[in-house]
């Protein structure tokens, strides 16, 4: 079963984070070394599309998104499925947030524990424009490294159990 990575965002300000991170991961050398078919990367413009079929065949779904929790801009976040749902709107920069989309997915039978949100705290002053804020831009390499490490660990475990061929 593959790992699916979904970059969530919009073309404005720090909300671009999910898209930018997904593109950087897509182009990284580390991801190129993973077994073919073990990872898929896509981008979406709203969390509600988490209900799309990609997650149904995935062993793990990693969500990349800007976070608005009140932490200092540039803070890295990693939140597991059930905690995403329990924290609700406190995590999202979207009207219908990741938590609400996961709650709906759970009601439709999705295994919420398969989801992990990786994000960076957005700068509330950077809602528009075509670039990421300085704080988010500085944190982006650490986020991508963290996601790449998690994928490598999960795939190594899957190879050991025979779920993925190395």
Q: Mind giving me the DSSP string for 110-134?
A: --GGGEEEEEEEPPTT-SSSSS--H
What six digits make up the tokens of 125? Answer: 């002053």
Distance CA(65)–CA(117), nearest Å, equals: 7
Structural domains in the chain, CATH included, are 3-161 (3.40.50.1450)
pLDDT digits (tens, 9 = 90+) for 37-61: 889 999 988 666 555 666 666 678 8
Q: What is the distance between the terminal CA atoms of the chain, rounded to a whole angstrom?
A: 13
pLDDT digits (tens, 9 = 90+) for 11-29: 899 999 999 999 999 999 8
Quote the pLDDT of residue 47.
61
Contacts of 49 (CB under 8 A, 6+ apart): 101
pLDDT digits (tens, 9 = 90+) for 79-94: 988 787 776 655 555 5
Prediction pTM value: 0.86
Distance CA(63)–CA(147), nearest Å, equals: 10
User: What is the percent of the chain with per-residue pLDDT over 70, rounded to a whole number?
Assistant: 75
Q: Which residue has the higher pLDDT, 100 or 148?
A: 148
């Amino acid at each position: 079963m593959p790992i699916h990575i979904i970059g969530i965002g919009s073309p404005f300000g720090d909300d671009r984070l999910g898209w930018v991170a997904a593109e950087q991961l897509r182009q990284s050398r580390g991801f190129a070394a993973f077994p073919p078919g073990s990872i898929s990367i896509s981008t979406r413009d709203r969390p509600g599309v988490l209900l799309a079929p990609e997650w149904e065949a995935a062993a793990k779904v990693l969500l990349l998104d800007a976070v608005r929790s009140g932490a200092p801009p540039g803070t890295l976040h990693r939140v597991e499925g059930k905690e995403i749902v329990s924290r609700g709107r406190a995590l999202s920069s979207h009207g219908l947030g990741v938590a609400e989309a996961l709650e709906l997915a759970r009601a439709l039978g999705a295994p919420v524990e398969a989801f992990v949100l990786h994000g960076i705290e957005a700068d509330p002053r950077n809602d528009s424009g075509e670039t990421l804020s300085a704080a988010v831009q500085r944190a982006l390499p650490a986020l991508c490294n963290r996601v790449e490490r998690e994928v490598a660990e999960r795939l190594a475990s899957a190879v050991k159990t025979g779920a993925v061929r190395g």
